[in-house]
Structure 1
Amino acid sequence: MAVVDAERLVTLVAAIFEAAGCAPMEAAAIGRYLTEANLTGHDSHGVARVQRYVDWLAEGKVEAGKSVTAIVDTPSLAVLDGHYGFGQTVGPQAVKIGIAKAKAQGLAAVALRHAGHLGRIGDFAEMAAAEGLVSIHFVNVVGSILVAPFGGVDRRISTAPYCIGVPRPGAAPLLLDFATSLVAEGKVLVASMGGKPVPPDALIAPDGSKSGDPAVLYGPYPQGPGTRDPMRGPGAIRAFGEHKGSGLAFMCEILGGALTGAGTTGPDKRFCNGMMSIYVDPRVVDPDGFFPAECADYVAYYKSARPVEAGGEVLVPGEAEQRSKAKKLKDGIPLSDGTWDSIVATARRLGLDDAHIRAALR
């Protein structure tokens, strides 16, 4: 296992993407967003994706230097095309437009189509919360057929993320951010590289048996560094929460995919993310100022529940991520050998010297 300093990891990842053809500002943004995912405990959306992103850029599946353009633009609604640009570039652009409209109107909606992989959607909810806004995000992944619906064994859904962010004056925002699959595909990727295993029932084989073996999703894969292709495996990821999670995933496909114009998940479609976002200014909804105090009271009441295990604690949404980030900023970010090896191999392939690479280690 490698332990890396967060800021040095940002620098290394940024150097990799600059060497791959991105402008310095875009490369730095990719490095920061991927590292932030690791800091908050979402390794599935972190630097384990470096090699895959670089390969996608080389293959033309994602494009550098893109900006969103408006297809529809009203005071409270925007429909935006990301032109298959990096999600770490076009995603924040879309969120900034939503923030500006919500601040002007009190309520706004932004439909983003044709974005490259958006990464951790919680980043965008945190952006809105920092501006005092509630936000809700429905996301789908076009061309990424990974998840079996409840009652089925065949892949029909993407991992279809869902996210809600709620600002709190003087405190970190409440943040609910999850894939509607039992685990994100990135968590299976991390497990395949020697990281934290996935639950033994996270995947489903063609015969309906449940499994935690990443090969069910990827098929045979290289033992050393090498991009895993989730489309090669015979099985699928399971939806979380049985029919409830499967139903929420379905609606993420309809709202994030069909309504935005990105398209729903299916065969022979170009990979992209679609995201339908809603922004609400609580200061407009709640002129009496009831909301902040009521949130604080409910957080305290919620956390007062007796824990199941002695010494345990009930956490509110977003609290685990806040604690993970504080710890990893202090102690460094642990990366599995497989993840670190893939980063090193990609850096070397792009001409970065070993001294540059080793500088990220604690």
Structure 2
Amino acid sequence: MRIPAPLLETYVAEIFKGAGCPDDESDRIAFYLVRANLAGHDSHGVIRVPRYLSWMEIGSVKAGVQPNVVSEGPTHAVVDGCFGFGQSIGPFCADIGIAKAEEHGLSIVAIRNSGHLGRIGDWPERAADAGIASLHFVNTSGLGLLVAPYGSPDRRFSTNPFAAGVPIPGEEPLILDFATSVVAEGKVLVAHQGGKPLPDGALISADGEFSTNPELIYGVGTAANPNDMRGGGGAIRAMGEHKGSGLAFLCEVLAGALTGSGCATPEQSNLANGMLSFYFRPDLLGSENEFAAEMERYLAFFRTARPLDGTDRVMIPGEPENRSRADRLANGIPLTDTTWESICSAGDNYGVRAPALVSEAIAS
């Protein structure tokens, strides 16, 4: 089925309000989850509603939390998210970094102990909209221990995203956002719920065999085990063999150890995101006109690259998300029946009825 984005966003916001989140935070959570779906990153979209609610119920993430600025100077800030929702901590910290970069040319912001920060590409997009370039390194301590390093079947990393954004005069901003694993954990969840299947070799069993079976991560689901306990004995593989494994390790160091959020740790029930972000004004490094002219020249050259058979066109980072956003705003957000039913069940738990979809949802 395809569900109109405004209807889905309103419904998700009402569920979080029913669960006890403040109205403004509920609206932010819904906005960023639906925004991830619009960008084509269903792994970080509304599929996460039941999981977020279960975390809130057991106290792993806390509603209505005010972030604590631990230390601050003209060009830096260290912020403790106090296990609040990442959809509140993320924009709060991004705006600190943007404001400092606007005034001083550059800034560094360290986040520790945030709830799940969602699609990390949201934060370089927010900065680029303000004319600021940025780099973001992320890790997850505790519950996020899911990824095997190169040469091992054992979990030693989280999916450790990296993201970057650069505003380009006269163009959509360049936005790069990826997990340092072959796939993000949420994409394993999407596959498990009947969505897009995993690429070959995305997972590895405890015996070292490559696989695409999501039960290697979640175990076999039952009513008592809702596939959120990471009960399988396998792992997600690091992307790019030793290169991706090295980048994942760097994310543990920068986003975990340096921020004070902590590196991946076994036998922890809480999920805490750490993020180290660098913000800077492009004009700090030279003429804005020279930068615009060089980007215009290079993009024209890049776009002459011949696509391989079966490839529509060679795209710059951020272009697939822009295409998805245009399609899904026009035609609705596709959800599997399993995902929709899990959201509706979560809503029922808080007395929030699902919207009627007879005239608004389009069967796929």
TM over 0.5: yes
Q: Is the 8 A contact 1:180 1:248 kept in 2?
A: yes
Residue 203 (str. 1) matches residue 212 (str. 2): no
Query: What SS does the aligned partner of 2:266 have?
Result: coil
Residue 100 (str. 1) matches residue 96 (str. 2): no
In structure 2, C-alpha distance between the alignment counterparts of 1:235 and 1:12, rounded to whole Å: 35
In structure 1, C-alpha distance between the alignment counterparts of 2:252 and 2:238, rounded to whole Å: 13
Residue 58 (str. 1) matches residue 57 (str. 2): yes
In structure 2, C-alpha distance between the alignment counterparts of 1:321 and 1:49, rounded to whole Å: 19
Query: Which residues of 2 match residues 260-275 of structure 1 at below 5 A?
Result: 260-269=259-268, 270-275=270-275
Aligned residue number for residue 24 of structure 1: 23
Q: Which amino acid aligns with 2:338?
A: G
In structure 2, C-alpha distance between the alignment counterparts of 1:32 and 1:225, rounded to whole Å: 31
Q: Is the 8 A contact 1:12 1:360 kept in 2?
A: no
Aligned residue number for residue 82 of structure 1: 81
Question: Closer, same or farther in 2 for the Cα pair 1:304/1:73, shift >3 Å?
Answer: same
In structure 1, C-alpha distance between the alignment counterparts of 2:226 and 2:40, rounded to whole Å: 22
Question: Closer, same or farther in 2 for the Cα pair 1:352/1:247, shift >3 Å?
Answer: same
Pick which of 264-273 and 23-32 moved more: 264-273
Query: What SS does the aligned partner of 1:172 have?
Result: coil
State the 1:287 CA deviation: 3.3
The TM-score, its normalising length taken from structure 2, stands at: 0.95
Aligned residue number for residue 35 of structure 2: 36
Q: Is the 8 A contact 1:10 1:32 kept in 2?
A: yes
Aligned residue number for residue 338 of structure 1: 338
Q: Is the 8 A contact 1:106 1:280 kept in 2?
A: yes
Q: Which amino acid aligns with 2:180?
A: T
Q: Is the 8 A contact 1:225 1:338 kept in 2?
A: no
Query: Which residues of 2 match residues 200-239 of structure 1 at below 5 A?
Result: 200-222=200-222, 227-239=226-238
Aligned residue number for residue 240 of structure 2: 241
- Specify every segment of 5 or more residues in structure 1 that has no aligned partner in the other structure, as ranges: none
1:121-162 CA-partner distances (Å, limit 9, x unpaired): 111100000010110000001111100000001000000000
In structure 2, C-alpha distance between the alignment counterparts of 1:337 and 1:288, rounded to whole Å: 49
State the 1:259 CA deviation: 0.6
State the 1:234 CA deviation: 0.6
Aligned residue number for residue 160 of structure 2: 160
State the 1:93 CA deviation: 0.1
Q: Is the 8 A contact 1:190 1:196 kept in 2?
A: yes
Question: Closer, same or farther in 2 for the Cα pair 1:129/1:172, shift >3 Å?
Answer: same
How large is the Cα RMSD of the aligned pairs?
1.7
Q: Which amino acid aligns with 1:32?
A: F
Query: What SS does the aligned partner of 1:268 have?
Result: coil
Question: Closer, same or farther in 2 for the Cα pair 1:306/1:355, shift >3 Å?
Answer: closer
Pick which of 124-133 and 300-309 moved more: 300-309
Residue 301 (str. 1) matches residue 301 (str. 2): yes
Aligned residue number for residue 193 of structure 1: 193
In structure 2, C-alpha distance between the alignment counterparts of 1:360 and 1:74, rounded to whole Å: 50
Q: Which amino acid aligns with 2:186?
A: G
Q: Which amino acid aligns with 2:318?
A: G
Question: Closer, same or farther in 2 for the Cα pair 1:28/1:288, shift >3 Å?
Answer: closer
State the 1:229 CA deviation: 2.1
Q: Which amino acid aligns with 1:211?
A: S
Aligned residue number for residue 70 of structure 1: 69
In structure 2, C-alpha distance between the alignment counterparts of 1:310 and 1:218, rounded to whole Å: 34
Question: Closer, same or farther in 2 for the Cα pair 1:280/1:232, shift >3 Å?
Answer: same
- Specify every segment of 5 or more residues in structure 2 that has no aligned partner in the other structure, as ranges: none
Q: Is the 8 A contact 2:202 2:237 kept in 1?
A: yes
Question: Closer, same or farther in 2 for the Cα pair 1:359/1:101, shift >3 Å?
Answer: farther
1:165-201 CA-partner distances (Å, limit 9, x unpaired): 0101232110110000000000000111111111121
Query: What SS does the aligned partner of 2:140 have?
Result: strand
The TM-score, its normalising length taken from structure 1, stands at: 0.96
Pick which of 66-75 and 92-101 moved more: 66-75
Question: Closer, same or farther in 2 for the Cα pair 1:268/1:207, shift >3 Å?
Answer: closer
1:52-107 CA-partner distances (Å, limit 9, x unpaired): 00000001000011122211100001011110000000110000000000001101
Question: Closer, same or farther in 2 for the Cα pair 1:341/1:257, shift >3 Å?
Answer: same
Query: What SS does the aligned partner of 1:27 have?
Result: helix
In structure 2, C-alpha distance between the alignment counterparts of 1:60 and 1:311, rounded to whole Å: 46
In structure 1, C-alpha distance between the alignment counterparts of 2:294 and 2:14, rounded to whole Å: 46
Query: What SS does the aligned partner of 1:171 have?
Result: coil
Q: Which amino acid aligns with 1:246?
A: S
Q: Which amino acid aligns with 2:140?
A: V
Aligned residue number for residue 282 of structure 1: 282
Q: Is the 8 A contact 1:126 1:165 kept in 2?
A: yes
Aligned residue number for residue 110 of structure 2: 111
In structure 2, C-alpha distance between the alignment counterparts of 1:302 and 1:217, rounded to whole Å: 39
In structure 2, C-alpha distance between the alignment counterparts of 1:204 and 1:243, rounded to whole Å: 15
Q: Which amino acid aligns with 1:63?
A: K
Question: Closer, same or farther in 2 for the Cα pair 1:319/1:288, shift >3 Å?
Answer: closer
Query: What SS does the aligned partner of 1:289 have?
Result: helix
Count of aligned pairs between the two proteins: 360
State the 1:284 CA deviation: 2.0
Q: Is the 8 A contact 1:142 1:263 kept in 2?
A: yes
Q: Which amino acid aligns with 2:87?
A: Q
In structure 1, C-alpha distance between the alignment counterparts of 2:178 and 2:224, rounded to whole Å: 27
Aligned residue number for residue 313 of structure 1: 313
Q: Is the 8 A contact 2:87 2:117 kept in 1?
A: yes
State the 1:297 CA deviation: 1.7
Aligned residue number for residue 9 of structure 2: 10
In structure 2, C-alpha distance between the alignment counterparts of 1:227 and 1:105, rounded to whole Å: 48
